[in-house]
Amino acid sequence: MKLIIAYFRPEQLNAVKQALYAIGVHSMSATNIAGSGRQKGYTETYRGVMIEVNLLKKVRLEVAVKDEKVVETMDAISAGAQTGKEGDGMIFVLDIADARRIRTGETGAAVFG
């Protein structure tokens, strides 16, 4: 079992969700966050004062999948999130030691169907 964490542009969330739905992945969590990476931010003028914006709006998406679904899920997230510009995001994959469905008490890989 793996936990896939992806950071990408908020305007790409619908495209990412549709790409995941197309491969049969429906369980996910999305959080609005602010962060920085290679994109480094930008400067703007607000009421005549130059302001440096270092933390940009991003979405953090978490998806737990079986091991055999990892590459397909990463490909779907990449396809949905990619704009071809710097700041498109990153995907990380972590091992899940165990999982339990609260309602039924199922554990392990059974949780993922």
pTM comes to 0.87
Number of H helices, E strands in the chain: 2, 6
Length of the chain in terms of residues written: 113
* Domains in the chain, CATH or no CATH each: 2-112 (3.30.70.120)
pLDDT value of residue 112: 78
pLDDT in tens, 9-25: 999 999 999 999 999 99
What are the pLDDT digits (tens) for 58-93?
999 999 999 999 999 999 999 999 999 988 999 999
DSSP annotation of 10: G
